Amino acid sequence: MSDATLSLIILAVTIVLFIWNRLPVGVVAIGSALALYFCGLVDLAGLTSGLGDSVIAFIAALFVVSEGLEASGITAWAGRLLTRAAGNTRVRVLAAISVLAAILAALITINGAAAALVPVTVAVARHAAMLPSKTLIPLAYACSAGSMLTLSGSPVNVIVNDAARGATGDGFGYFDFGVVGVPLVILTFGVVALFGDRLLPDRQSTTLPADFSNYVGTVVDHYGLGNRIYRLHVGAESPFLGRSVRHVTPGDSDDLVGIAAQGGHGAGVLDGSLKVENGDVIVVSGHGAQVEQFARDNDLTVEDVAGRHSRRGRLIDRDVGITEVVIPPRSEWIGTEVFPGMVRPEDGLLVLSIRRRSKDVGARTVALAEGDTMLVHGPWRAVDALAEDQRLLVVASSEQLRRQTVALGRTAPRAAVILVAMIALLATGVVPAVVAGLLGALAMVITNVVTSEQAYRAISWPTVVLIAALIPMSAAITNSGAAEQIARPIVDLVADQSPYLLLVILFLLTAALGQVISNAATTLIVIPIALAAAADIGVDPLPVLMLVCTAAAAAVLTPIATPANMIVMNPGGYRFGDYWRLGIVVMVCWLAVALAVIPLVWPLNP
């Protein structure tokens, strides 16, 4: 059995296992690479070549840059703009996603755009009450179409441009690809809008982050923050100075209820027998007018605790945030006295509300018990630190809450500058794409937009491993002659036929190969065949090469066709067979665009 036949058998088995969907895609990919090694189709260097491939480093770097955009609040800001533009209707949502994805793909490549826009797309889909599975494949397809807008949109474009320079001495301009790319973006959106709802699956993903888009409103209602709580700071001229605490706390009435007294600078609860000192705080609940009058009569400074944390208040911003905590069994906090309006002396966190057995404990001091929940408010650093405190359980991730609700944090300007610089490097080609990506990722860490731990966590290692494991497959098919074994007879069949028939065959060949091996590898395989066929029948190389470029970008039938498809797979909860239903319609439309537009701009006859 020849090496070419053996490599095709391994490829076929790999595809069947992907479609079967009973094994993790990473396991299948690694297994196929090992099969190639044991069959002698790749050596040890070839087996591990994917790990050192520049595209792997580039994709990993783009994940880190995407993490920087999310951590700095730029993603949340873009999501809010996109949400306002998209509204709640399905077509408007898909249009907004398609336009943003196409533009970003043209600037930072298809994979970078997909990595950056997945969280934004999920947020917009939730706001419109749509399943993310109805929007994430359209995101990947819009990125693929947008990659055809500029020369820097995809490595395939660069490969095709180099081939054009070698064949004719004159390549394509930076925006020449947009002649085909613009109608592709428009038509792709049209197909998704018309057929996406029927052809895309209803999937629920288990890997999506929690949705905090309406968190503030939910918390305000759940914890009853509409009840007015005030901290009254004792001044130097207050008649309460020197009195015992029990004699300064107002008595309970319909209008004013005394809760507790607390020592200055966030000290603990004051016992009723202690004397009030300058700077101590009296915490009360009541109507604003009565509180103001009580404060004026006794030289107290009013601090509104709950009133400034309404739905439009400063419950969450760049500097401060909230979190819910639960008292677990055997916690050291059990028995600790707390009350609404109390400032914790350890970290300055303000207790906004306390609930026991799903009921508000009210405006009073309580000793914490197992199962109690508290809503606390304060600086993000103190809020984040609670996640490391073994004495309590944090209900929701403060990091995810901050990213989804705080737009344009303090590191946003740095992240924006880094993004623009990376785009400039990619557009000008001053350095290779992988270098530009690595510089962007490194800058995100050095400038403290993300920590090194966040950078490591940001990389989708399953995606990276899958792509790295499939690279040996591309090399084996190319080096064994399997690709040419299939492609050459097909091209020979149309060597003396209509140039349009040649374009159709080349499109189908390129697109078919591009579903199972990387589109860059597919392009490298098909280009010499396409140029030879074009020379045989007297067709100009430029339209043939642009046709190959368009077909290579039509990697829409499988999740392994392009990293962008893989990036959306887990967040969308997709299976291997979920892509081709809508993808086949998109591909047919792309073929129609290629046949209609390319010969008009680049005539077939030299």
Q: How many domains does the chain have?
A: 4
What's residue 313's pLDDT?
45
Assess whether pLDDT exceeds 90 at residue 582.
yes
Assess whether pLDDT exceeds 50 at residue 310.
no
In a domain, 568, yes or no: no
User: Following DSSP, what letter does each residue of 136-202 receive, concatenated?
Assistant: HHHHHHHHHHHTTSSGGG-HHHHHHHHHHHHHHS----TTTTHHHHHHHHHHHHHHHHHHHHHHS--
Which of 303 and 397 is assigned the larger pLDDT?
Answer: 397
Assess whether pLDDT exceeds 70 at residue 273.
no
Span of 41-50, 180-189, 419-428 with lowest mean pLDDT: 419-428
What's residue 72's pLDDT?
86
Q: What is the mean pLDDT of residues 331-358?
A: 85
Instruction: With beta carbons less than 8 A apart as the criterion, state whether 523 and 18 touch.
Output: no
What's residue 307's pLDDT?
44
In a domain, 163, yes or no: yes
DSSP code, position 432? -
Give phi and psi for 343, each to the nearest 5.
-100, 120
pTM higher than 0.75, yes or no?
no
In a domain, 348, yes or no: yes
Instruction: With beta carbons less than 8 A apart as the criterion, state whether 578 and 136 touch.
Output: no
What's residue 489's pLDDT?
79
Q: What is the mean pLDDT of residues 454-467?
A: 80
Which of 484 and 249 is assigned the larger pLDDT?
Answer: 484
Q: What is the mean pLDDT of residues 257-278?
A: 66
What's residue 339's pLDDT?
85
In a domain, 34, yes or no: no
Q: Which residues contact 33 (CB under 8 A, 6 or more apart)?
A: 42, 47, 50, 469, 470, 472, 473
The residue among 348, 378, 395 that closes a domain is 395
Assess whether pLDDT exceeds 90 at residue 548.
yes
pLDDT, tens digit (0-9, with 9 covering 90-100), for 311-341: 444 677 777 888 899 999 999 889 988 888 8
What's residue 189's pLDDT?
95
| Whether residue 535 sits in one domain with residue 504 | yes
Instruction: With beta carbons less than 8 A apart as the criterion, state whether 553 and 513 touch.
Output: no
Assess whether pLDDT exceeds 50 at residue 384.
yes
Give phi and psi for 48, each to the nearest 5.
-100, 5
Residue 174 belongs to domain spanning: 53-209+422-460
Assess whether pLDDT exceeds 90 at residue 122.
no
Assess whether pLDDT exceeds 90 at residue 397.
no
| Whether residue 324 sits in one domain with residue 300 | no
In a domain, 18, yes or no: no
| Whether residue 299 sits in one domain with residue 330 | no
9 closest CA partner among 37, 34, 32, 38: 32
| Whether residue 117 sits in one domain with residue 168 | yes
| Whether residue 265 sits in one domain with residue 205 | no
489's tokens = 């007879």
pLDDT, tens digit (0-9, with 9 covering 90-100), for 35-64: 999 999 989 988 888 787 777 887 788 888
Give burial (CB, 10 Å; 0-12/13-18/19+) of 477: buried
Q: What is the mean pLDDT of residues 84-88?
A: 76
The residue among 413, 445, 460 that closes a domain is 460
What's residue 415's pLDDT?
92
Amino acid code (one letter) for 338: V
In a domain, 478, yes or no: no
| Whether residue 157 sits in one domain with residue 203 | yes
List residues bridging with 389 in a β-sheet. Answer: none
Instruction: Find the Cα–Cα–Cα–Cα dihedral 300, 301, 306, 312, rounded to 10°.
Output: 150
What's residue 228's pLDDT?
64
Which of 592 and 260 is assigned the larger pLDDT?
Answer: 592
What's residue 247's pLDDT?
65
Span of 120-134, 455-469, 574-588, 592-606 with lowest mean pLDDT: 455-469
Which range among 68-77, 216-225, 266-275 has the greatest average pLDDT? 68-77
| Whether residue 237 sits in one domain with residue 350 | no
Amino acid code (one letter) for 193: A
Assess whether pLDDT exceeds 60 at residue 254.
no
Which range among 83-92, 422-431, 592-601 has the greatest average pLDDT? 592-601
In a domain, 329, yes or no: yes
What's residue 499's pLDDT?
85
Span of 257-271, 457-471, 529-543 with lowest mean pLDDT: 257-271
| Whether residue 266 sits in one domain with residue 339 | no
What's residue 470's pLDDT?
75
386's tokens = 């609670």
In a domain, 365, yes or no: yes
| Whether residue 181 sits in one domain with residue 120 | yes
C-alpha span between 451 and 440 (Å, rounded): 14
| Whether residue 588 sits in one domain with residue 516 | yes
Q: What is the mean pLDDT of residues 417-432?
A: 84
Number of residues that this document lists for the chain: 606
C-alpha span between 394 and 387 (Å, rounded): 6
| Whether residue 287 sits in one domain with residue 385 | no
Domain of 325, CATH number, reads 3.30.70.1450
Span of 13-27, 238-252, 584-598 with lowest mean pLDDT: 238-252
Assess whether pLDDT exceeds 70 at residue 265.
no
The residue among 380, 395, 410 that closes a domain is 395
516 closest CA partner among 560, 468, 481, 485: 560
Q: What is the mean pLDDT of residues 471-485?
A: 78
| Whether residue 295 sits in one domain with residue 262 | yes
